[in-house]
Each structure stands twice: as C-alpha cells, then as structure tokens.
Copies of this chain bind each other. A is one copy, B any other.
Amino acid sequence: MEKQTVTIYDVAREAAVSMATVSRVVNGNPNVKPATRKKVLEVIDRLDYRPNAVARGLASKKTTTVGVIIPDVTNVYFSTLARGIDDVATMYKYNIILANSDDNKEKEIQVLNTLLAKQVDGIIFMGNHMDDQLREEFKRTRTPIVLAGSVDPENEVESVHIDYVAAVKEAVRDLISHGNDRIAFISGPLSDPINGEYRLKGYKEILAENNIEFDENLIFETDYSYHAGETIWPALAAAGVTAAYVGDDRLAAGVLNSALDAGVKVPEEFELVTSNNSEITQMVRPKLSSITQPLYDIGAVSMRYLTKMMNKEEDVEEDKTILLPYGYVKRASTK
C-alpha cells in the first residue's frame, strides 16, 4: 500500500489506447466507439483511477469550484443562503469554497484575492455593505460575481434579493393599522445600505403615506446580535414606543424578551414584527410576526444565475438584479 497514484497514462497503457481516448471517455465525449469505451471503463475500474481535478483545472482553465464569501456561517440567515447555493452548485457539479469575512472590508478583499488565485470559476458574495473599493476589486476581475441577499446600491454588480422597501412598508403598515403611531425602527448599522437605504426608506414612506411624522428618536441603530436587543427596552419605553419593526430575527428575539422581562404585555402593550422568518420566530413566545424571505431560494437562484454567467449563456437576465417575492406572516406578536 504505497503512494499509488494512478494517472491517465497508466489507464491508457493498460487499456492499450491513447491518453486522449481515456480523457474522452472520462469526460463523456461521445466520439468513442462503445467497445473502446467499455474497455477503458473496465481498466479505470480495475485500477481504481480517479481523475486529478487539479491537473484538469490547469489544462482546461476551469476548476468547477466557486468561491462563497459569507460574513458568518454561524448566522442562520447566511447559512440558509449558503445551503441554497451549495445545493444548486452540487446540482451543476460545482464545489464551494466557503470563506468567512466577518463583514470586514480587509478580510473580504483578501479572501477575494485568494479565491481568485485559486482560480474559482465564479464567486458569490454575501455581505452587508458593498463599497467602492470592493466594487473596484470586483470590476478588476473577469470572474463572474453575484451578490446573494445583498445589494449594490449602484446596481453595478448582479444580485438577487427581495424588494426590501416594499417588504418593510407592508410590515409597518400592519403596525400602523393597529393604531400605532410611535413605531420604532430597530436595525443593524445604518451604514449597511440594506438598513440605511432600503429598509429605512420603506419605513419613512409608509409613515408619510399615513401622515405620521418621522421622528429620528425612534430610530435605533445596533448590531445584529441577540444581546443588542436584550437590553433595549428601557430606551424604547423612554421614547414612548408602542410598536417596533426589527431588521433581524435574533435581534428581535432580544427585543421581545427585553420587553417581556420588563413585564410588558406583548402584543397588548407592545407589538413587534421582524424580518427574516427564521425558526427563531416560532420558538419564542409569543411567536413573532415577520416578513418572509425565500432565503434558500435566494441562494439557489444566485448560484443558478452564476452558472449562467460562467457558461456565458445567452439568456442572462437583462436586468442585473433579480427580485424574489417576499411575504408577511402575522403571528402573536402583533394584534
């Protein structure tokens, strides 16, 4: 039992054909006489030959692997996207190199470069903020890139996500319809376009449509953690809030428990809706009303989109951004 590395050459010799022929049968090229194919296949089986993907990649300039940049796998929002990505990647015979970026600019760029060095055929990027530097890096490469569940305000790089503005409007509209007029907007960093531009825009719009004055004191900017929400109630109470829209489920669970632990009745005295409809929304009591997003599908569609770009398929979308449908489910955290 030694460093037995069976190569295509060994197979060719044993089968008494050329390497080219072996290559053909391995790659399913139809131009091979059935008899020879059978013979080669037998030898491959007998020798337990396994094509070396690295050599293949070097020769063909295709690695059948795509890079996936993710802020943190540990966050269900992203891991769900990742699952969708991996599933369709597998479907199309691709593998995924997963790299955590912590949403950190330096890491993102550095990871991007090592992915490129590894010659990935494409890249799926998930992140909360796309800035100019990153956009520049993206433009420097000819490797296709698509953003999954993330937005590029400049709309220069292809992306797939939901219509955040409309979704937030729908959620807040529900709150307004119950008579609330002091509704908190609680989200992660407003510097993330998804919060500061889209969601906030939806929030403001629906307020305006209902003649409710926008009050800056009702905007609560935190991070995405459960912990951030856990201690927020006093601030909400001080602002005279009776309802809240929250941009992240874990954060929402924190907000909910924070209110509950303070003796507040939900939804009687305080209503809240969250944004991702992850399992968490149903594990807490009362269950959380939430915007629903087809996270798995966003990942899946992103990857599908990427395959089209990698194969230079003709029918790539005219528009660079694909919008998937969102929904809204009412549960016990709202009246």
Contact = CB atoms under 8 A, between A and B. Distances in A.
Interface of A: 3, 50-55, 57-58, 63, 65, 68, 72-74, 76, 79-80, 82-83, 86-87, 90, 95-100, 113-119, 142, 226, 250, 253-254, 257, 260, 279-280, 282-285
Main secondary structure of the interface of A (DSSP, over half): helix
Contacts of A63: 54
Contacts of A97: 65, 95-98
Contact of A99 (B57, B58, B95): B95
Contacts of A83: 72-74, 100
A95 B118 contact: yes
A3 B86 contact: no
**Residue picked from A53, A97, A226, most chain B C-beta under 10 Å:** A53
20 contacts: A50-B113, A50-B117, A52-B58, A53-B114, A54-B54, A54-B58, A58-B58, A65-B118, A68-B98, A73-B73, A73-B79, A74-B76, A79-B79, A86-B98, A86-B100, A95-B97, A96-B98, A257-B285, A280-B283, A283-B283
Contacts of A117: 50-53
A98 B36 CA distance: 37
Given A97-B65, A226-B282, A118 B53 contact: yes
A119 B52 contact: yes
A316 B282 CA distance: 45
